[in-house]
Amino acid sequence: MHNDLHALRRILKSCPTIAVVGLSAEWHRPSYFAAKYMQSHGFKIVPVNPRYAGGQVLGETCYASLSDIPFKVDMVDVFRRSEDVLPIAEQAVQIGAQCLWQQLGVANREADALARQAGMDSVTNRCVKIEHARLFGGLNWVGVNTGIISARRLV
């Protein structure tokens, strides 16, 4: 999936609402980095973390679990240990999300298979922020090999 630029581009273009499971409210944590980046690039972030349930993170209401969210989310972005992902994947299927995205360092194969069986897109062990910046610009400014060879401007 990592090198399938077309699939990643399609996923990021078709998922305007992202539930971030395990989002920290501490500014120096990777989950906060990634969510803040996505928010500043036009995505609606839905914090999911029982620690802050009922409060706000990044100006958005935080929910205890995916099933508590009273509206549709497109992507479930997971910042939890790999062994904790399977129940989150089950909930993601139940709430009708289109994509299960396991973050850098997170890769639960059963959860990945479950999401695919349910017809969802599934990405493992990648950072949503890094992939967005790779495909839509920004990552190239810090010298990362984006793998993009093209005669078209980034759109």
Residues lying near other proteins in the complex (CB under 8 A) are found at 3-7, 27-28, 30, 32-33, 36-37, 40, 104-105, 127, 130, 133, 137-154
| CA 76 vs CA 60, 143, 146: distances in Å | 16, 29, 24
Closer residue to other proteins in complex, CB, 37/63: 37
Nearest residue (CB) to other proteins, 6 versus 71: 6
Amino acid at residue number 69:
I
CB of 93 vs other proteins, minimal distance in Å: 26
Rounding to the nearest 10 degrees, give the CA dihedral for residues 92, 10, 108, 23.
-60
Q: How far is the CB of 64 from other proteins (least distance, A)?
A: 25
The DSSP letter of residue 141 is G
CB atoms within 10 A of CB 4: 11
What is the nearest approach in angstroms of other proteins to the Cβ of residue 31?
A: 10
